[in-house]
Chain A
Amino acid sequence: MSLRNAALVAIVLLAGAGLAPARADDAARLLRQAISAPATTSFVGEVQTLEIGESQTQASVYRIEHRAPDLTRRWYLAPQSLYGDSILTHGEHRYSIDVQRNRVIVDENDAVDDQVAMDDNFGLLTTNYRAESAPHETVAGQTCDVVMLENKHTGQTVMRIWMDAKTHLVLQKERYAGNGALTSQTRFSNLRYTSAIPSQVFQVPTGFAQVNGSRHLQPSSDVNAAVKTAGFKAQSPRYLPEGFIPVTGDVTDVNGVRTLHLLYSDGIRTISLFENAKDVAVDLSHYTAKSVRFENHDAQYVEQGPITLLSWSETGLHFALVGELSRTELIKIAASVVP
């Protein structure tokens, strides 16, 4: 290589090194703007979702009306079993309107207002993932910024996000498994930005029986405090995939049974470990449950799209592990929970 060519290569490398951090910072800024966009942007449209599991796939189509900052109605057009059902969200309150059973299930989730947790979790995301900008694309008639999130430990692309270049609203999102397979896709169509959405759209309809669902307090980031509150000797996995840490813990009395919920995450992917000391079984009768055996445990699991729930018992403790990792990975984590 001549001196001239070497100098050119050096200039290109230096320029690239200088530009790369700027691109990453720019991508991270775009992600932050995307997260806060629904609080300032009102819109109506249609959303298609695809949740692809190892053995089953769920698809849904719903109309969406969102009035900033926190009123949302989703009205299901598909699947057929949910046609006419809708979900109203008023901030931390969610009303699931089940037309077939003529009831409204009311849930409360204080976690959605937890800005500190949101910021902490965004920090966790940037710790474990590299954000890379990609060329602009068009989704729902809008020009979009595209950002890919690559796992720093494995080098695999885990998520790809399309954000409206003007409003920063996420218009398309895809997630990928460890082997690169698509596991979920959410995509807008027929999008229209408007704040002229009548209040009646978000009113809870009358004539339905009201059923209390779950009430979630803001989960505690003090996981040890949650464990202490549980009132029994809780266990945690000795193995977690790279980048995962305990994020929150909460304790709930479910049907009179004190249940500890520990959440582990790497900033994008999450795993929930539920445990109780009453050996209270998980009722899987409403699902297609399958059996699996590991470390002398007879466990059962159900799949809902990419989410797997694995349930087993050991020495008086009952465990349920929920996550969107592969079943093999979940079993590996479950096997490391040794009382």
Chain B
Amino acid sequence: MKHLTQDQLIDYLHHALAPEDDAAVFAHLQGCLECAATMRTETALTEALQRQAAAEERDMPAGVEATIWARVDELSSTPSFADRLRAWLRPAILVPVAAVLVLGLFLAPQIFRPAPVTIDAAYYLDDHAAVNGTMPFGDASETIPASLTSTGEPANASAVAVDPVTMTADVAP
């Protein structure tokens, strides 16, 4: 009878054999005391290695865990500018923010546009009448002031001093 190789036993222990090979190894171990003994040795060795590995995982060098957690705390409390920028540039934030900005740029000129400046027609009519007062028989007082008949507010008008100049302008004589 041919005994099982060590590789076959290790693969069997790790459930790495094909189903038909696994069944053949199981049947062999039932009738071969020598292979069963080897199997037990291999099992014990595997368990010892696993226990050792587990022990080594639990006993990390002193301070490693503390260092790791300290670093985690540091990162979470003061994220770098790049990290923060990356956070802001996430699509979940960037897209809505961009949409609001575009909408704002579109609407702002309409919302914050200053009221259009207009000049009430009454100003022109009254100003014409006022200057007309220097004409012979052009007594402005005979006409009803437009500022009395108009429902609008009087224009805020202040005269600008005209300084005599010698140069000619583009006005036909």
Contacts and interface: CB of A to CB of B under 8 A. Distances in A.
Interface of A: 31, 34-35, 47, 49, 51, 58, 60, 72, 74, 76, 81-82, 85, 87, 89, 94, 96, 98, 105, 107, 109, 111-112, 114, 117-118, 121-122, 125, 159, 161, 170, 173, 186, 211-217, 219-220, 222-229, 233-238, 245-246, 248-259, 261-263, 265, 267-268, 270, 272, 274, 278, 280-287, 302, 304-305, 307, 309, 311, 320, 322-323
11 contacts: A213-B154, A214-B155, A253-B160, A255-B118, A268-B135, A268-B137, A270-B131, A280-B119, A281-B119, A283-B118, A320-B121
Chain B binding site: helix, strand, loop or mixed by DSSP?
A: loop
B172 interface: yes
A199 B141 CA distance: 20
B134 A111 contact: yes
A214 B142 contact: no
B142 A236 contact: no
Given A87-B145, A238-B172, A255-B119, A212 B154 contact: yes
Contacts, number: 232
B19 interface: no
A207 to B, nearest CB: 18
Contacts of B145: 87, 94, 96, 105
Given A112-B133, A248-B131, A250-B159, A81 B120 contact: no
Interface residues of B, number: 55
B122 interface: yes
A85 B148 CA distance: 8
B120 A263 contact: no
Interface stretch (B85-93, B95-103, B163-171): B163-171
Given A161-B137, A304-B125, A228 B150 contact: no
A107 B126 contact: yes
A272 B128 contact: yes
A114 B133 CA distance: 10
Which of B128, B155, B161 has most chain A Cβ within 10 Å? B128
